[in-house]
Amino acid sequence: MRDWSDAVAGLVDAWRDRSPERLLATVLFVAAPCPAYAHPHVFIDVMMQVEIDAAGAVSGLRYDWAFDDFYSAFMTQGLERADGTPTPAALAALAETFVEKLDDADYFTIATAEDHQLQTSGAQNVNMRLEAGRLRLTFALPLRSLKSPPRKISIKIFDPEYLVALDLKDDVGLVNAPAHCRLSVARPAALSASDSAKLDDSKRTQKLEPDFGRKRANTIFIDCADAKD
């Protein structure tokens, strides 16, 4: 677990100089601690599409993330503005920082095909905008397999430390998919009484057990294998 005393110091320094890079590092991936708030600290609505290539294999993801309004307001303070709105250049710089940090966190995405994990090639077509008071980050995330092209995969979306809550919306779609491809979504089960107590206690301790966020993971299953496979 991270050292929360360091997180507090980092947040104070970042707030003083309004550096987007330092704010992102301390808030999104250190999640500035506050005794009044439990985990999670940042909330993201996740829209996603799964890309299928000409061979019927899963080739990548298209993400559209909408950050909560409180976090969006915090992250855009101090950005260069024109007519009261962050400039495209300021948002592009912020998006670049997001993607750099997200790459270190595997984009909160674990994709597996049978017995092996797929690798990402880094975010592409990155864009950030401010819409109705919320930061929206869109990007494409190519996936590649070290074995045969994956036609059956599962994708888990979660932050292991549950500092960030990722809420997968219902409109998950397939792009360029053959008619036989199937997609299903498994939502996280309700927390047990014990886990609910641990989450509530995080208001006081600012700590959760390692990998607690896996219990809140959404899982997407894609099956593009046809009868010949």
Is residue 62 domain-resident?
yes
**What is the pLDDT at residue 4?**
30
Angle at 188 between CA 182 and CA 193, to 5 degrees: 160
- Specify the higher pLDDT residue, 55 or 198: 198
- pTM of this prediction? 0.81
Residue 113, domain extent? 4-223
Range picked from 10-24, 34-48, 97-111, 123-137 for highest mean pLDDT: 123-137
Q: Is 229 inside any structural domain?
A: no
Please check whether residue 14 lies inside any domain of the structure: yes
State which amino acid sits at residue 225.
A
Q: What is the mean pLDDT of the chain?
A: 81
**pLDDT, tens only, 99-133:** 888 888 889 999 998 778 888 888 999 999 999 99
Residue 60 has pLDDT above 50, yes or no: yes
Residue 108 falls inside a structural domain: yes
- Is residue 98 one of the residues assigned to a domain? yes
Beta sheet of 218-223, edge-to-edge order? 116-117, 109-113, 152-157, 218-223, 182-186
140 part of a folded domain = yes
Between 206 and 51, the higher pLDDT residue = 51
Task: Tell me if 21 sits within 8 A of 99, measured CB to CB.
Answer: no
CA distances from 179 to 56, 195, 225 (A): 10, 41, 11
Question: How many domains is the chain built from?
Answer: 1
Q: Is residue 228 domain-resident?
A: no
Q: Is residue 19 part of a domain?
A: yes
